[in-house]
Structure 1
């Protein structure tokens, strides 16, 4: 299954509440109706006090295969959606589109459609001296189990850019790490734990360009299309 991730930012002159209202009430039904959508989740990016926002929202879509992906990306409704940079609210110059596949490191308990869970998403580019295969080998074989041992996490998924995208040349990001927590207290306890601070975080420098990494605090809140067993 192919996992599409869209990071979007509103235009500077657009109020965040207006943008989110359009995203939920107009964009969500449009995207949910795109051909081949198997799973669709909307998430908001939490503001960090004292820091300028890089993105407002995250849209995630899953389709079956490359043929389904092609049909979705070439559909008229996709072209008219904010995901494609259309509309007058989104800033297309500050949006990111990733085509990935998922590797589940820690499945955890199933997430129900009505649950609203906090999570962290870290988007990164691999170190310049590593091939895609070397990066994946280290990320999945060494760093993944280490990160999965952090106390309190609910679910952990590694989303790596598709090989076909990687072959087209350098991209802004090579992958995204997603870790869900039961609640904010569990998230804060995890990132403050000695294991995370002394082992997990320093280990990132072994396979990613830490200067280019972007970590977002995410609130998964709108599951528009949700399989019975997710």
Structure 2
């Protein structure tokens, strides 16, 4: 499957709660009803004391394959508008649109739709001395098993970015990031212990740590699943 990841930030003059209400109540049904969408998940970015949040929300959409993506992007103006973000409330200059393929490192026990787990998403660029293939090889073959061994980890997915073919949905050409690590934890204590774990220092062996963006994520209790999924 192809995984679309949209990082969105509201305009500076828009109240966060107003933005979230529109995003949940108006934007979600539009995206969930798009043709070819197999799964859609909305997540909010949790505030971290002492750090200004770069983004407000994360939208994740899955379609079956490249043909399904092409069909989606050949849709009407309303389709393209739905993919552009939460109406005119987003700041286009602060949003990131990405295409990815997923590699499940640790599936763990299934997560119920109404289950709320702390989640960490790290978006990174590879080290300048590594090719994309070398980065993927190390990330999947060496780092993946290390990260998956952290106590309290519930699920771990590696999302490798693809060059975007559709400017309407994503940034064209070279993606802003090479990968996104998505890790769910049993509770906040397990997340904090993992962040402090020496195992995570291995990230410096294949990523540009200065360019990484780490988000504390809360998947909405209401995960949107189209009827066809």
Q: TM-score surpassing 0.5?
A: yes
| Residues 40-66 of structure 1: CA deviation (Å, up to 9, x unaligned) | 100000011222220000000110000
Structure having the higher helix fraction is 1
Cα separation, 1, equivalents of 2:227 and 2:48:
32
Q: Distance in 2 between matches of 1:92 and 1:210?
A: 25
Matches within 5 A, 1:81-120: 81=82, 83-85=83-85, 87-120=87-120
Q: Please say if residues 7 and 57 of structure 2, whose CA atoms lie closer than 8 Å, have aligned partners that are also in contact.
A: yes
CA contact (8 A) 1:2 1:62 kept: yes
User: Contact 2:100–2:159 (CA<8 Å) still a contact in 1?
Assistant: yes
Give yes or no for the alignment of 1:49 onto 2:49: yes
1:188 to 189, 192, 200: 192
Q: Runs of 4+ in structure 1 displaced over 3 angstroms?
A: 226-229
Could you tell which deviates more after superposition, 86-95 or 9-18? 86-95
Deviation of 1:130 (Å): 1.1
Q: Name the SS of the counterpart of 2:126 in structure 1.
A: coil
Whether 1:64 and 2:64 are equivalent positions in the alignment is yes
Distance 2:86 2:10 in 1: 12
User: Are 2:46 and 2:217, in contact at CA under 8 Å, matched by a contact in 1?
Assistant: yes
- Other-structure match for 1:202: 201
Which consecutive residues of structure 2, in runs of 5 or more, have no partner in the other structure? 166-171
| Structure 2 match to 1:211 | 210
Q: Confirm whether residue 172 of structure 1 aligns to residue 176 of structure 2.
A: yes
Task: Work out whether residues 4 and 98 of structure 2, in 8 Å CA contact, stay in contact via their aligned partners in 1.
Answer: yes
SS at match of 2:109: coil
Q: How many residues align?
A: 221
Alpha carbons of 1:208 and 1:5: their partners in 2 closer, same or farther (altered >3 Å)?
same
Distance across 2 between alignment mates of 1:73 and 1:228 = 19
Equivalent position SS for 1:53: coil
Measured in 1, the distance between the counterparts of 2:226 and 2:210 equals 35
What is the Cα deviation at residue 74 of structure 1? 3.1
Asked if 1 retains the 8 angstrom alpha-carbon contact of 2:11 and 2:89, the reply is yes
The farther-off stretch of 64-73 and 210-219 is 64-73
1:130-169 CA-partner distances (Å, limit 9, x unpaired)? 111100000000000001011100000000012676xx75
TM-score, with structure 2 as normaliser: 0.90
Stretches of structure 1 lacking an aligned partner (at least 5 in a row): none
User: Counterparts in 2 of 1:17-36, with a 5 A limit?
Assistant: 17-36=17-36
Q: Is the contact between residue 85 and residue 91 of structure 1 (CA under 8 Å) also seen in structure 2?
A: no
Deviations 1:69-112 (A, max 9, x none): 1222332333222x415722011110011100000000000111
Instruction: Give the TM-score normalised by the residue count of structure 1.
Output: 0.90
Matches within 5 A, 1:128-147: 128-147=128-147
